[in-house]
Every structure is written in C-alpha cells, then in structure tokens.
A and B are shown apart, each in its own frame.
Chain A
C-alpha cells in the first residue's frame, strides 16, 4: 500500500475547500439566513443542573464502580496499596495460563516487576516508535495491562487515552485486560471526566480517548449474550486505595 501522497491529498483538500463553502452555505440558506461565524448562545449545555451536584463519597464511588463492572461481566479486586498489585496480577496470569503480556510503557507498570516475578512469561512494553513490532506483540499477547487515566463510578467505566507510551492496542487486542485504577482517579459522573478531557489543549489532545465498561460483548445471535467478541473477553479492574 502506498504511503500518504501529498499531491493527491492537496488536490482533495482543494476540492474540499471549494465544496465546503457551498455545503455550509446551503445549510444556512435552508435555515433562512446567512452563515453565522460567532458562537451562538448555548443555554442548555451539558447535563441538567440537578445532576451536576450529584456526588458520591469515595467508598460509595468504589462500591458502585465495582458492582457495575461486575454486572457487565468483568472481575474486580480492591487493595489498599500499589505494592499488593504485582501478587494479584501474578495470580491472575497464572490462573489464566497466560504466556505473554503487553503493558503501557509507564513507570508504575514497569515497577510491577513482572519480568522478575514471572520470568517464564514474555513481557513487553508498548513502544510507539516501533509501531509494527508493538502491534505484533500486542496481537500475540494474552494479557494487556493498563493504568486508567480516569474512572467513572456511576457507569462503571474506566478511561484510557493514547500516546507514544500508551498504545490503543494494549487495552484491545489481548484476550485478557487488566486495568489498574487508582482510587484518586475515580469520579462519580461521566461529566466530570468529559470536562477534564475537553480542557486538554488541542496540541496535546490524545488521538484516542476510550471509555471501557467491561469485557467486549455482543447480543447479535438470537439476543444471546456472548462475551469477548472482538475485544478482551476477560476484564479485570484492580482498584488501588
């Protein structure tokens, strides 16, 4: 397959600019006015007021998250400190007969020391600079280990964003997902995470922001729930704190 071709793209870009004027102009004229260029007043932005004051305490948040994650078919564990996590992950990997792992390339995950604790398994860290190699290892790995950027108690969701160190494939391609969630990153409502995401400046904005709420599932065959269709079928949420 050919790489991006600047000549072709610039031709398409010219066509696009020309078409845009007419396309937007048509919308404005159908709306009975000329196109507007300043931001309209948006009095109904976001959730209703009564909702934005809805708050759960930390314990309640964690309990709610865990019950939602389990109801969606996932597994949860909670522990007081990050130092307990390696033993839990070792147990999970042994129980699942995993032979290889891939993790986000983050110091917290490096410090789990899986390479030493389970030397018979192959362990990889995502490397955005080796795209082909990283994709291949993620595809072959049995378990993907991620550190959640945020979590939402009310919907039982954890959020991962993409970067050089944090490939989207890590939480997607392996059959087992192990997500470590720091209790401090737990929020009550989706909206709290939305506003934090939206506040990231354009040049630092991640290409992928993924809300994940359990194992992959489908009900497309006779509405019979099947777990693990394309994404991970086994999803662990390990809450720290």
Chain B
C-alpha cells in the first residue's frame, strides 16, 4: 500500500480503510501483540500491583524531575559524557549537526529513536550531505520507502513481505525473493558494513538512570548495541522525561515494558550504557554526547489534566488495544506518535493548537487504552479534556457549532421542539422505507453511510402521553393519605410545578 492520503485524520482514515492489506496487517499484528501481552501478564501474575508500582515510580520521578535530571546530568558528566540541552526540536538537530560537522562525519548509523523522528534528524543529516542509516530492520524498511513509522514498536507494521522484497531488491541491485529469512539476511549483511564504516552512532533512550547517569536501551535485534559499540562517537537523544531514579526502579520498568510491548519477559538485549569507553576498553564510543530534549514536554508539567502524559514508557500497548488504531493504522494520525498516546501527545507537544483539529476525535473513549497502559495513564479522560479545550478555545468546526446552537434552540423551548418533531414526521415520509431511513442526503450520510436510522414514529411519546397518563392513573392504587399530602407538598414547593412543557 502507499501511505494514506489526506489533510486530516478523517480523510487519511478513509483512505486507509480502503486498503485491505493495511487493515489485515495491522489487525493481525496488533492482535498478536495484544494476546502476547495478555499471556505474559497473566503468567507473571499480580499485574495490577506492578502497574501501580510503575505508576508510582513515574509519578514520583516527574514530580521531582528537576532533581532527578540534575542528578542524571551530574553523574553522566562525571563518567565523561557531554550533555546538551535542546528546548526545541530544532535545537536538538542543530547540536547533533554541530557535532557531526566538527567530526567531519560522512555517515551515521541510527538505532530506533522516536525523539529523532520528532526532531527530523535524518533530514538534517541529509541537508549536510551526511548519510544517515536506520539500522532497526523495520526502520530500515520504512526509510527505504521514505515513510514515517506507523507503530511505536513495529514501525513497518503496514508493509507486507512482497513490498519489502521490492524495496530491498532495489537496494541490493538484484531480485530478492519475498522470504523473511532471505530479506533479513540481506539487511544484516548490508547494515553490518554500515556499522563498521559509520563515524557516528545515534541512539534513542528508553530510560535514563539518575543515580549513575546511565542510558538504558531495550531492543531485540542487537542494532542498538552495534550503534553504541562500533562507531567512535555516540550521540544519544533523550526525551527529558525518560528518567527513573535508580537501577532498582529499572527492575519495575523491565517488568512492565517488554511484557506490555511484545509479551516478552525481557527484550533480547537490555543495555545500560554509562559514559564513553573507559580509557583501556577496546570498544564503545570514545566520545559520548547526550542531547536532552524538551520539545513541548515541559508544557505538560504543572498541568493537572496532562502531566501524567509524561509517565508514558512508549510500549505501544494502547495502540494494540485501540479499536480505532486497529482500523485506521498509524499513518492516519498526524505527527510522530499514533494511536491513543499519539492522539493526546501530538497536540500536547505541539503548541500550535490549530493542529488539534480532529485528532482528539479519533477515539471512541472506550477506555481500552487506559486498561492496557502499564503505568495507568488515563488517556481516555485526557481525550475528553482535549475535546473540552478545543471547544473552549473556539476551534470547533462551524457545522458542529451551528448544530449545537440549533440543538439548544430546539430543546430549550417545548413549542419549538413539538413543531420540529411534527416537521420531521412529515418530512421523513419521502425517505422512510420499512420503518428505516437509508438515504445519505446531506448530513444524514454521516450516520446512514454505515447504518440505518429508525424512522420517527407516527405519534411521538409526548403526543401519546395524555392517553397514557389516564391509563396509568386508572391502573394505580389510590395513594395513602400520607403519601398524597407529601406529594402535594413537593408540588407546592416546586412553585408552578416545574418548567418543562
């Protein structure tokens, strides 16, 4: 498939929904990941206690982020790391480019980093004429396709092996069969050379450990180890909220993250990297840089509705659980992050509130994301806050605004309501067949495109009320004196007896 086209979530989702392979692939993989998580958490047991502990650690860290970040920086510097600060995405790219230029770098190998997607690091390297190669197999595939990742954990979730064979064959200069083993084998050989040639290795960071200044990376392929072992210079991009206080806390994150992401007990590799190589070590980078990135994260701090967003450990479980994501795929969402976390994070990181346009609506508010989240982020509540803020700031679509005004006008006055029902009963005559409206005329299409509307009954409930009320009166036992007098008092206390028609 090609990337879904359109200028907003709705249009892109429409285009994605026409792509049968995309729907099947995303459904198949998310289902597998979801079941893997279910089995792994059941096997481990006491999952709720672990989730709660994970939440507590993340809440505590974020509430004292200034302290832990300072501690992390001090300890990393003590091990010889050069620490840099990037308040904005462009600062992160600028600092990385300064380092690369100064090193006279010709090529960079990258392991997976969502922050690097945020700051568009590949484009920045490209502008300087520096080759920047993604080494995670999924990332490598989508880099060749020139597409952004469509899932936090499985970036090429939307591609099948025939498409991948085509992309890799172009790179190989020969036709490779669409067999997973052969394709992966080609990528291994090709990327091995790249690792050995590269001047700079660029990594992301799953957690920064404050007490030792260590960067922790979880991965299965070994490419992040290659990136942090072979090149002479290492640059690590770290979101400023990635911290945990201690190695003890890492046990909790290592329990939650792999199980939630893929159902593994632990990823094949979990590496703690603390500073550049020691003087007499033979491998590991000679020079190590950590760029700490804000890029909108600090906007969440001190915001009671959204601060918990910073607790996210980027496992992707909410994507796999989300009925909307599972149908429309990651490319329907704007920005780097997709699924429920993306629906909240993208507008939150982005100061331009116009961008909020329709992303918060790409959710059914069912709460499956919260249930799946290993650190219990109330994403579904956040989506409601987001919609609320959108309305408060006047970004509601004109049609919706008018509809709400109309609703108020109708429902606020019983005569108007009655007239409207009458008009509807008359008007629908042209559209009703077998008791249902199927027509997709005008705004009706939004509903009837996928289901029917039951017709308005010939006599509304309110029209039937007079008859019904006398029947009810007749069938009721007479009230006792005490009850009657109490009712009369209530009616009296109500003044004119209520203001509803």
Q: Which of these, B73, B226, B232, B274, contacts A205 with CB under 8 Å? A: B274
Tell me if A172 counts as interface (CB < 8 A to partner B).
Answer: yes
Least CB distance, B485 to chain A, in whole angstroms: 57
- Are the CB atoms of B229 and A168 closer together than 8 Å? yes
A130 beta carbon closer than 8 Å to chain B? yes
Closest to A29 in B: B302
Given A48-B49, A189-B251, answer yes or no on A224-B180 (Cβ-Cβ < 8 Å). Answer: yes
B230 CB → nearest A CB, Å: 7
**Residues from chain B with Cβ under 8 Å of A16 in the complex:** 82-85
A217-B221 contact in complex given A1-B103, A126-B282, C-beta closer than 8 Å: yes
B246 touching A45, Cβ below 8 Å:
yes
In the complex, which residues of chain A have a beta carbon less than 8 angstroms from the beta carbon of B240?
23, 27
B262 to A, closest residue via Cβ: A219
CA A48 to CA B136, docked complex, whole Å: 34
Q: Which of A2, A48, A172, A229 contacts B102 (CB 8 A)?
A: A2
- A-facing mask of B219-249, CB < 8 A → 1, else 0? 0111101101110100000001000011111
Known: A26-B298, A31-B301. A230 touches B223 (CB 8 A): yes
Q: Could you tell me which B residues sit within 8 Å of A by CB distance? A: 25, 28-29, 32, 46, 49-50, 52-53, 56-57, 60, 63-67, 69-71, 73, 75, 78-79, 82-85, 87, 95, 98-99, 102-105, 135-138, 141, 154-157, 160-161, 164, 180-181, 183-184, 187-188, 191-192, 195-196, 199, 211-212, 214, 220-223, 225-226, 228-230, 232, 240, 245-252, 254-255, 262, 264-278, 280-284, 286-287, 292, 294, 298-299, 301-302
Q: CA–CA, A20 to B52, complex, Å?
A: 32
By beta carbon, the residue of chain A nearest B229 is: A168
Ordered by A's residue number, 19 sampled pairs between the chains whose C-beta atoms are within 8 Å are A1-B105, A31-B66, A31-B302, A35-B70, A42-B245, A45-B249, A50-B46, A164-B281, A168-B225, A205-B79, A207-B79, A207-B284, A210-B270, A211-B266, A213-B266, A214-B268, A220-B136, A222-B180, A224-B161
Given A157-B266, A198-B212, verify A36-B67 contact (CB < 8 Å).
yes
Q: Which residue of B lies closest to A131 (CB)?
A: B282
State which size class the interface on A falls in. Answer: 35 or more
Answer whether residue A28 sits at the interface, using C-beta atoms and an 8 A cutoff: yes
Q: A156, A215, A229: which contacts B223 (Cβ < 8 A)? A: A229
Nearest chain A CB to B458 CB, angstrom units? 55
A163 at interface by CB-CB < 8 Å: yes
A48 to B45, CA, bound (A): 13
Quick check: B301 and A47 within 8 Å, CB to CB? no
Q: Contact mask A13-42 → B, CB, 8 Å, 1/0?
A: 101100110111011101110011111101
Indicate if the CB atoms of A4 and B287 lie closer than 8 Å.
yes
Hey, which chain B residues are within 8 Å of A168, CB to CB? 225, 229, 283-284
Q: A211 with B282: in contact, given A1-B104, A1-B105 (CB under 8 Å)? A: no
From A195, A197, A230, give the contact of B222 (CB < 8 A). A230
Residue from the set B102, B192, B266, B271 with the largest chain A CB neighbour count within 10 Å: B266
